[in-house]
Amino acid sequence: MKVIIIEDEKPSARRLSRMLLDLDIEAQAMLHSVSEAIRWFKENKHPDLILLDIQLSDGLSFEIFEQVEVKSAIIFTTAYDEYALKAFKLNSIDYLLKPIDDEELEQAIGKFKMNQPEKNNIQVDLDQIKKLLINPLDKNYKERFTVKIGQHLKMIAVEEIECFYSENKGTYIFTSDSRDYLIDNTLEQLDTILDPTIFFRVNRKFFVNINTIKDIISYTNSRLKIILNSFNEKEIIVSREKVRDFKNWIS
């Protein structure tokens, strides 16, 4: 049985690898980011089973499946709460709640072995799981950001924000009054704290507010160009792999 581990925390990946060895299973590879996993899947034969962390250093692991068709069985490793875990049960996917317990890992592996002949017949709706994980009904999203201006602190409501963007290793807010403010959050952190019905990450550098989109224009290579009400400092392009999700988001 060929198994790989996708986990951004290297100590956790090594611990999980040792736990597998106790079950006489050697991990074929340990991958630590979305980009690394995509490269690996494009260059290697896919394993029988993936032990997959949800939140990786450069984004959610679901982004892997947007770019690569992976037919391996998946056991998620997660720190999400009980509500989110219902998603896995509904879709017949196994999960391990961190910190991972030896006995639970053994049971999950045993369940995979029992169902292995049928694993390719199990249809998993990863998009639906992603929605349930990111949009639990009782989740409170960020309503305002606090920025420092000299000796003062300014509160900015999310309704005032046209977009978030990254530049020179910093993350910035652009507001409807055409002001830029540096914030402490990374774009990856914004993934989990912004309301996804209002904000969408159109590429690696931009989140846009649906209420501030002025125009959407067809662009080269099946991409889209977004025009916001005020922001004109850079072109905002919906990356090709995001176009379908973007169209669903605005519909």
Q: 3-class DSSP state for residue 95?
A: strand
Structural domains of the chain, count: 2
The span from the first CA to the last CA of the chain, in angstroms, equals 43
Q: Please give the model's pTM, rounded to 2 decimal places.
A: 0.51
Same domain, residue pair 128 and 95: yes
Report whether 238 contacts 223 (CB < 8 A).
yes
Same domain, residue pair 8 and 128: yes
Query: Which string of DSSP letters, residue by residue, matches 18-53?
Result: HHHHTTT--EEEEE-SHHHHHHHHHHS---SEEEEE
Amino acid of residue 109: I
Same domain, residue pair 130 and 168: no
Same domain, residue pair 174 and 106: no
d(CA 175, CA 189): 19
Same domain, residue pair 160 and 98: no
Question: Mean pLDDT of all residues in the chain?
Answer: 85
Q: Which pLDDT band, with edges at 50, 70 and 90, does 19 fall under? A: very high
- In which domain, by residue range, is 242 found? 144-250
pLDDT digits (tens, 9 = 90+) for 107-126: 989 988 887 645 444 445 56
Q: Which pLDDT band, with edges at 50, 70 and 90, does 18 fall under? A: very high
Which among 76, 99, 134 is the end of a domain?
134
Instruction: Please compute the mean of the pLDDT values over residues 163-175 and round it to a whole number.
Output: 95
Say whether pLDDT at 67 is over 90: no
Say whether pLDDT at 49 is over 50: yes
d(CA 83, CA 70): 26
* pLDDT score recorded for residue 78: 76
pLDDT digits (tens, 9 = 90+) for 24-44: 999 999 999 999 999 999 999
Same domain, residue pair 23 and 124: yes
* 121 phi and psi angles, rounded to 5 deg: -95, -5
Report whether 77 contacts 96 (CB < 8 A).
yes
